[in-house]
């Protein structure tokens, strides 16, 4: 009933219909914060090899697609599975997923597959598990900076006094190498490595850090981002950026293992939040909310966010397919 083909130039004119249907529903159905590429931009990325796309065809008309990327080392990133309407939706998704896995089969020994199942994609969880996908449930927590009660909760949030030898300072470029190493030490044993193996090596952690501080993942805010020093050695961090013009985000918070259990992460998060809100009030940045993602099994991190005024917005399954033989 359904066929699949890799997107090619002969379909550029008629593929725009299903792609623009996705763009029109990206925020409502898939919880996209950023506006997806317009169709011309999508085709440009496709032709440059930055995105790959498999189409679902019915009578040679595109009615669905799966977009992925091979641009990140060690990972195949699935971005979206979208189909017109909801009729036979999982059958259509299965058709696309099967074709996708056939296309990347030669990469499965050396790469994992990761797929954030945002919005309505979450209802595909049971079906895609039959392909071997596993899941980490991530909660998106949100701090409403327009809520004065929340700001009061933040200011009154209990934190310890910094122990002797520790200090919190704004991030500067001189800390980059130390920060990269601290990211590695903080995340190498976390659930994040299941879907982002960059955290398994210092080189990969340096790549993550580089993309954050050079505003690849959103506009980096160095004066609000903080590092924790112990006897002038970097042992913790809480970073901040802005996406979609006015949405603050906390991409990474971490303390290296030897310094955990002292309540230091909460101090960092509170300091970053206070400076983000201050920057919004003086007009340095536009700020409507601050969000973060946290593993629902990481009870200490989840509790930390709640205690400074964040509230859970939604939970989504972060799917990943381990390397063959893992």
pLDDT-derived band of residue 151, with 50, 70 and 90 as boundaries?
confident
Q: Is residue 323 within 8 Å of residue 108, measured between CB atoms?
A: yes
The tokens describing 229, both together, are 């020093």
Non-local (6+) Cβ contacts of 240 within 8 A are 220, 221, 224, 225, 248, 249, 250, 251, 272, 275, 276, 290
Cβ pair 236, 228 in contact under 8 A:
yes
pLDDT in tens, 201-258: 999 999 999 999 999 999 999 999 999 999 999 999 999 999 989 999 999 999 999 9
Domains and CATH numbers, the chain: 3-132 (3.40.630.30), 139-315 (3.40.630.30)
Determine the pLDDT at residue 326: 66
Residue 152, pLDDT score: 84
Average pLDDT on 165-169 reads 96
Question: In this model, does residue 156 exceed pLDDT 90?
Answer: no
What pLDDT band is residue 153 in, cutting at 50, 70 and 90? confident
Average pLDDT over residues 45-67: 97
- Render pLDDT for 255-310 as a digit per residue (tens, 0 to 9): 999 999 999 999 999 999 999 999 999 999 999 999 999 999 999 999 999 999 99
Long-range CB contact pairs, 34-42, < 8 A, 24+:
34/243, 34/244
């Amino acid at each position: 009933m359904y066929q699949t083909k890799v997107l090619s130039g002969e379909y550029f004119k008629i593929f725009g219909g299903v792609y623009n249907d996705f763009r029109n529903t990206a925020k409502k159905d898939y919880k996209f914060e950023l506006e997806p590429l317009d169709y011309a931009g999508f085709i440009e990325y496709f032709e440059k090899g930055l995105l790959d796309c498999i189409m679902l065809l019915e009578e040679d008309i595109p009615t669905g697609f799966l977009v992925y990327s091979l641009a990140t080392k060690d990972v195949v990133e699935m971005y979206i599975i979208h189909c017109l309407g909801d009729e036979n939706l999982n059958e259509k998704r299965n058709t696309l997923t099967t074709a996708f896995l056939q296309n990347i089969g030669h990469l499965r020994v050396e790469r994992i597959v990761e797929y954030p199942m945002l919005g309505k994609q979450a209802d595909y969880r049971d079906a895609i598990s039959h392909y071997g996908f596993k899941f980490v449930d991530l909660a998106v927590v949100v701090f409403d900076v327009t809520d004065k009660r929340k700001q009061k909760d933040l200011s009154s949030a209990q934190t310890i006094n910094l122990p002797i030898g520790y200090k919190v300072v704004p991030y500067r470029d001189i800390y980059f190498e130390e920060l990269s190493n601290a990211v590695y030490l903080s995340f190498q044993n976390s659930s994040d490595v299941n879907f982002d193996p960059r955290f398994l090596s210092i080189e990969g952690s340096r790549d993550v850090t580089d993309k954050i501080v050079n505003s690849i993942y959103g506009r980096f805010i160095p004066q609000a981002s903080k590092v924790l020093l112990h006897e002038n050695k970097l042992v913790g961090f809480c970073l901040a950026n802005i996406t979609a013009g006015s949405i603050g985000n906390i991409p990474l918070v971490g303390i290296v293992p030897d310094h955990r259990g002292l309540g230091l992460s909460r101090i960092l998060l509170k300091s970053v939040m206070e400076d983000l809100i201050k920057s919004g009030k003086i007009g340095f940045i536009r700020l409507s909310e601050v969000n973060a993602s946290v593993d629902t099994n990481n009870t200490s991190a989840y509790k930390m966010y709640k205690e400074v005024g964040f509230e859970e917005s939604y939970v989504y399954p972060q799917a990943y397919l381990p390397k063959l033989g893992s």
